[in-house]
Structure 1
Amino acid sequence: MAATMQITFDAADPGALAAFWAAALGYRLADPPSGFDSWDQALEAWGIPEERRNDRSALVDPDGDGPRLFFQKVPEPKAAKNRLHIDIRSAVGLEGAERMEALEARCAELVALGASRAERFEPGGINAGWIVMRDPEGNEFCLD
């Protein structure tokens, strides 16, 4: 049997971070469990207190192709550079100035959603050019 993959994010605010990544990737909130019309209804039925209802969140690819993204609340802040990061492929097939213009446009969209820009790497040699960014909680990702 083939394994499925989930990417898990530690977060201070799982709901807000999930909302950012949903907008950035075109994902959607995972459906509530069978028998419930909403997550609020499920959490209420399970007796989860309101102050704990943002302890986790999950997103799914609406086309069913990409991995599930899971966000879990942790008490400690992000402390160091990520050893693993997500690349958002925003300029596939483009080169040079056209590629960098497409990446800059996507960068501006993501900054408007709460991301921050860290560094731009120019095309040259074997490098196609990319932009390093941070999500609203400081997790590094690249526009590629």
Structure 2
Amino acid sequence: MSPVKQVQVTFGCAEPERVARFWCEVLGYVVPSPPEGFATWDDVNRSLPPEDRDAWFACSDPSGVGPRLYFQRVPEGKAGKNRVHLDVRVGAGLAGEERLAALQAECTRLVALGAVCERVMPADEENESCITMLDVEGNEFCLD
């Protein structure tokens, strides 16, 4: 069996470009260049039939280490809790008050980008602190 070479995480959403650009800001990701023959993604969009315009958007880790994120338009809204979510590891290697301060600083930055802070979970006897959040379309993610 050959090893997996790449992973892509796909999100169903109402506004793919808006959600993709939010995640670019969260993760330091970038929007790939448009395909050859197009100067901008708007040019690509205009070349598509109306029903296919704004149907998807993607972003990727500029270092090539992290997974590509793909956002596709779906007709239905979010109906319940995500079965899969991203953990944004801003507190790795930190503990106690230092970890919580790093998480809260990132939470403040992301709220300014349109995220919602859902719950702050301070450290207890078994777990370090983490913060559950919602992205610009209500998808759960954690600051860990």
Structure 1 residue 53: Cα displacement = 2.5
Name the structure 1 match of 2:28.
Answer: 26
Alignment identity in percent? 48
Q: 2:37 aligns with which of 35, 38, 42?
A: 35
The equivalent residue for 1:10 is 12
CA distance in 1, matches of 2:63, 2:14: 28
Q: Deviations over 1:63-91 (max 9, x none)?
A: 11111100000111000001111000111
Stretches of structure 2 that go unaligned for 5 or more consecutive residues are: none
Q: Does 1:122 align with 2:122?
A: yes
Alignment of 1:127-138 (within 5 A): 127-138=127-138
Q: Deviations over 1:27-66 (max 9, x none)?
A: 011221133322223344xx31467431110001011111
Deviation, 1:124, is: 1.6
Q: Aligned runs of 1:58-137 on 2, under 5 Å?
A: 58-137=58-137
Q: Is the 8 A contact 2:56 2:72 kept in 1?
A: yes
1:141 is paired with a residue of what secondary structure? strand
Deviates more, 1:118-127 or 1:131-140: 118-127
Q: Which amino acid aligns with 2:97?
A: A
**Inter-partner Cα distance in structure 1 for 2:50 and 2:66:** 31
- Structure 1 segments unaligned to the other structure (5+ residues): none
Cα distance in 1 between the residues matched to 2:45 and 2:93: 44
TM-score computed with the length of structure 1 as normaliser:
0.92
Which deviates the most, 86-95 or 49-58?
49-58
Change (3 A) 1:2 1:42: farther
The equivalent residue for 1:57 is 57
In the alignment, is the contact (CA less than 8 A) between 2:38 and 2:44 conserved in 1? Answer: yes
